[in-house]
Amino acid sequence: MKNRIVTVPPMNELIQLAPGFAKKELATYKLDILALCGFGCRYCSSNTGNYLRINAKKFSAFTDQQTGKTSNHVADPSLAYVYPDVVTQLKTELMKKSKSFGKGQTLIFSLRTDGFSPSLVEEGTTKAVLNLVLRMTSFRIRVLTKNAVVGTEDWIQFFVKHADRFVVGLSTGSLDDTWSRKVELGTSSPSDRFAALAKLQDAGIPTFGMLCPVFPDMMDNGSLEHMTELTNPDAVEHIWAEPYNDRNNWRVVRDRFPMQSSAYKWFTDVYENKNSSLWSSYATEMYTRLKEDAIEGGWLPKLRYLLYEDNIVPADSMKYHGLSGVLLQSKSDRFGYSQNPAMARLQP
Residue 152 pLDDT class (50, 70, 90 cuts):
very high
pLDDT of residue 276: 94
User: Do the Cβ atoms of 60 and 54 come closer than 8 Å?
Assistant: no
Is the confidence at residue 87, as pLDDT, over 90? yes
pLDDT of residue 172: 97
Is the confidence at residue 282, as pLDDT, over 70? yes
Q: For the segment 189-242, what is each residue's pLDDT rounded down to a tens digit? A: 999 999 999 999 999 999 999 999 999 999 999 999 999 999 999 999 999 999
Q: Which of 64-73, 127-136, 290-299, 313-322 has the lowest mean pLDDT?
A: 64-73
The share of the chain scoring above pLDDT 70, in percent, equals 98
Q: For the segment 259-276, what is each residue's pLDDT rounded down to a tens digit? A: 999 999 999 999 999 999
Q: Which of 70-84, 101-115, 304-318 has the lowest mean pLDDT?
A: 70-84
User: Do the Cβ atoms of 324 and 291 come closer than 8 Å?
Assistant: yes
Residue 73 pLDDT class (50, 70, 90 cuts):
low
pLDDT of residue 42: 83
pLDDT of residue 44: 83
Helices 276-297 & 223-231 angle (0-180, nearest 10): 50
- Tell which residue, 304, 130, 276, has the closest CA to residue 210: 304
Q: How far apart are CA 263 and CA 94, in angstroms?
A: 47
